[in-house]
């Protein structure tokens, strides 16, 4: 090593204790400040408890408000099922919107929005007259009507044993 390198090393080693002293003094200052704040808060609790507990309640209230405000712009709108644009005269298939079972049937009714549309208490409601059609049945859309807060579609069966017969179903069953 040269003489210059030795003097540089000695200067670096002399600065290390000063840096260590600054670091410990910074942590001492921080702990003293925290101790002062804590002592003032405890003093406030003893001298004026209403203000102390009111401040805690206010802090908790602010935290709750911030938590309830929600996230970004994406959380302001709930996802909504997209309705298929139905065109009268077009051919569609029946597919139950609420079933993943391929053997499930789609319920058809004679009047849109009838209150007993899905009430199978009578024997005639359970069998015959093409009231339960298998999923995937081809249908032709004849009419669309809003009734009882839902949209109904009048369809005519294009294939199968019920070909040529028409009935109503909820429009979400027509895909």
Q: What is the mean pLDDT of residues 8-35?
A: 64
Token pair listed for 39:
């002592």
Q: What is the pTM for the complete model shown?
A: 0.49
**Would you say residue 141 has pLDDT above 80?**
yes
97-139 pLDDT, tens digit per residue, is 777 787 888 888 888 876 554 555 555 555 566 888 888 899 9
Q: What is the DSSP string of 77-119?
A: S---PPPP---TT-EEEB--TT---TT-EEE-BSSTT-TTTT-
pLDDT of residue 19: 55
Give residue limits of the domains in the chain.
Answer: 3-76, 91-173
Q: CA 34, CA 48: separation in Å to the nearest integer?
A: 21
14-23 pLDDT, tens digit per residue, is 555 555 555 5
């Amino acid at each position: 090593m040269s003489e210059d390198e030795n003097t540089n090393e000695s200067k670096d080693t002399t600065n290390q204790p000063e840096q260590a002293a600054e670091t410990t003094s910074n942590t001492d200052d921080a702990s003293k400040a925290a101790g002062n704040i804590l002592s003032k808060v405890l003093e406030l609790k003893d001298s004026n408890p209403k203000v102390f507990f009111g401040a805690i309640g206010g802090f908790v209230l602010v935290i709750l408000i911030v938590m309830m405000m929600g996230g970004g712009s994406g959380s302001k709108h709930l996802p909504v099922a997209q309705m298929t644009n139905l065109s009268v005269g077009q051919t569609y298939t029946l597919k139950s919107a609420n079933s993943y079972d391929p053997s499930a049937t789609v319920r058809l009714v004679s009047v849109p929005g009838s209150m007993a549309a899905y009430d199978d208490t009578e024997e005639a409601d359970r069998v015959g007259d093409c009231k339960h059609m298998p999923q995937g049945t081809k249908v032709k859309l004849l009419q669309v009507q809003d009734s009882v807060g839902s949209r109904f579609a009048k369809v005519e069966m294009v294939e199968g044993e019920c070909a040529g017969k028409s009935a109503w179903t909820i429009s979400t069953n027509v895909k």
